[in-house]
Structure 1
Amino acid sequence: MKFAKPAISVDDQLDLLKQRGMTVPDEVRARHYLQHISYYRLRAYWLPFEGAKQGDAHCFKDDTSFDDVLSLYVFDRQLRLLVMDAVERVEVAIRASWAHHMAMSHGPHGYLDQQHYSKVRHHASMVDSLTKEFDRSRDTFAEHYRTKYTDPTLPPVWMAAELMSFGLLSKFYGGLKSRAERQAIAKPLGLDEKVLTSFAHHMSHVRNICAHHGRLWNRRFTIQMIVPRYPARLAIAMKGADSRNIHNTLVTLDQMLRIVAPGTTWCDRVLLLMAECAFANPQAMGFPEGWEQQPIWKAGQVQEVGQ
């Protein structure tokens, strides 16, 4: 089938939305956001407001307003910022735990020794990727190492941990042959090594979605994380949740933040954000029935905070 949809102007986009039953309280404001966000990006946020299909397009449910759609878009944007805030702190902690363990157990460059990894071919590919990332880096420490040292050509593990992508870091961690080593790296973070391996892979996927400003709140993830057996607080919170949505990501980030950032109020900020948007349906985010009564969501008092 040949694509034959024509491009349409912002004014025509607005007319089309009104023809489909969307109310537009402020047309100047609506044109502004269609211009600066785009019709196509906003489309993902009015899908929950669509009703029966008439002809080639769905009509909107009664009383659907452009402001409602914009409210959901703003909620998702703020959720991405909160998730990225948590991911940054958790990611840094994972990098630190991996680098410290490898340095103390195998020396500054022991992480490059293929005997520590279960698949030699995969390790070679990881080292090749790291070499490319190191050669591209313009960080002061990378340029200093390249200028001063010729052997080994790659930097010590504590430098490598700072310059490699998180996706590559998760491969170095998950590729370790010894479960005891993976467990030693995971222990300071409060998770079993299998859960941390799974979550690191999943978190890398979520991080990429956030970095590209993708829709997060009701997304169905293709890369899911393992549901842990412990800590019990985390396992109980995930019972009945849809593992393909954001709920399990949020509670795992919260669990890890409580370890790496004691006193954090991140969970309260998530709750406050959800309470402020009437259209942020928890069910669409994978929240289980009765989630409000779970200890993980009742741990702190909801308040407007900046930590």
Structure 2
Amino acid sequence: MASKKPNAKAATVKAQKVTYIYTKLALPYAQTLLRLWDKGLMIDNRPDAENALKTIGYFRLLIYMRHFQSNTAPRNFYPRSKFSSIVALYNFDREIRLLTLNAIEKLEVALRTAIINPLAELHTPHWYLDMSHFDDEIKYHGVIGKIIQGAGKEGHTKRGLAMIHYYDKY
């Protein structure tokens, strides 16, 4: 059996790692907009642009700015690029994310219901307390531990009204 030799190239790359000092300054919103203007971005509505920087943040918007900038240094904006277009792209992405998460939540609830209701009808509403329905005893005890912890006095208020009602009544 041959022994593996360390990769000399990989060792060289690791040795050449360079650490940079972060020297960028946090600027007031007006100065940030002026800096973007100097790079060719049209600030078509100054109050809205400042509000976007206050509520969304420069670095989150920076991801969306990249679509409006050249790929080469000094990364100036393409002609006729507007701050409002960047915010519109951010809002579009946000809406897609919200729609997607909403759909996932609906699927999760439907899947849980499709699994839990037939099991409750077939066995009992507390079928999950019977270990014979599970293959892995260690995982079963882990899940039961989480259920007990979540149903306890400390955890039940975090779980909402249904858990509070169930805990108090049963």
TM-score interval, normalised by the smaller of the two chains? 0.7 to 0.9
User: Structure 1 8/99 Cα, relative in aligned 2: closer, same or farther at 3 Å?
Assistant: same
SS of the aligned residue for 1:60 comes to coil
SS of the aligned residue for 1:45 comes to helix
Question: Distance between the aligned counterparts of 1:128 and 1:119, measured in 2?
Answer: 14
Query: 1:49 offset after TM fit, Å?
Result: 2.0
User: Structure 1 108/45 Cα, relative in aligned 2: closer, same or farther at 3 Å?
Assistant: same
Paired position in structure 2 for 1:121: 138
Question: Distance between the aligned counterparts of 2:69 and 2:148, measured in 1?
Answer: 49
Q: Which amino acid is the alignment partner of residue 117 of structure 1?
A: F
Paired position in structure 1 for 2:167: 146
Paired position in structure 2 for 1:247: none
TM-score, normalised via structure 2 length: 0.72
Question: Distance between the aligned counterparts of 2:54 and 2:141, measured in 1?
Answer: 47
The partner residue of 2:110 within 65, 85, 93 is: 93
Contact 2:151–2:167 at 8 Å: present in 1 too? no
Indicate the RMSD between aligned Cα atoms, in angstroms: 2.2
User: Structure 1 25/98 Cα, relative in aligned 2: closer, same or farther at 3 Å?
Assistant: same
The partner residue of 2:84 within 57, 67, 73 is: 67
Paired position in structure 2 for 1:253: none
Query: 1:42 offset after TM fit, Å?
Result: 1.2
User: Structure 1 48/122 Cα, relative in aligned 2: closer, same or farther at 3 Å?
Assistant: farther
Pairing 1:27-38 to 2, within 5 Å after superposition = 27-38=46-57
User: Structure 1 120/19 Cα, relative in aligned 2: closer, same or farther at 3 Å?
Assistant: farther
Question: Distance between the aligned counterparts of 2:135 and 2:80, measured in 1?
Answer: 58
SS of the aligned residue for 1:61 comes to coil
Q: Which amino acid is the alignment partner of residue 147 of structure 1?
A: D
The partner residue of 2:39 within 12, 20, 27 is: 20
Query: 1:103 offset after TM fit, Å?
Result: 0.8
Query: 1:124 offset after TM fit, Å?
Result: 2.3
Pairing 1:1-307 to 2, within 5 Å after superposition = 1=19, 2-55=21-74, 58-135=75-152, 136-138=155-157, 139-149=160-170
Q: Which amino acid is the alignment partner of residue 156 of structure 2?
A: S
Q: Structure 1: which 5+ runs fail to align?
A: 150-307
Query: 1:69 offset after TM fit, Å?
Result: 0.6
Query: 1:76 offset after TM fit, Å?
Result: 1.6
Question: Distance between the aligned counterparts of 2:50 and 2:162, measured in 1?
Answer: 47
The number of residue pairs the alignment matches comes to: 147
TM-score, normalised via structure 1 length: 0.43
Identity %: 28
User: Structure 1 15/95 Cα, relative in aligned 2: closer, same or farther at 3 Å?
Assistant: same
SS of the aligned residue for 1:81 comes to helix
User: Structure 1 116/49 Cα, relative in aligned 2: closer, same or farther at 3 Å?
Assistant: farther
Question: Distance between the aligned counterparts of 2:106 and 2:115, measured in 1?
Answer: 14
SS of the aligned residue for 1:52 comes to coil
Higher-RCO chain (CA-CA 8 Å, sequence separation at least 6): 1
Question: Distance between the aligned counterparts of 1:24 and 1:92, measured in 2?
Answer: 44
Question: Distance between the aligned counterparts of 1:29 and 1:140, measured in 2?
Answer: 40
Q: Which has the larger radius of gyration?
A: 2
Contact 2:44–2:83 at 8 Å: present in 1 too? yes
Q: Deviations over 1:251-288 (max 9, x none)?
A: xxxxxxxxxxxxxxxxxxxxxxxxxxxxxxxxxxxxxx
Question: Distance between the aligned counterparts of 2:141 and 2:69, measured in 1?
Answer: 50
Contact 2:150–2:156 at 8 Å: present in 1 too? yes
Higher helix share goes to which structure? Answer: 2
Which consecutive aligned stretches of 4+ in structure 1 deviate over 6 angstroms post-superposition?
none
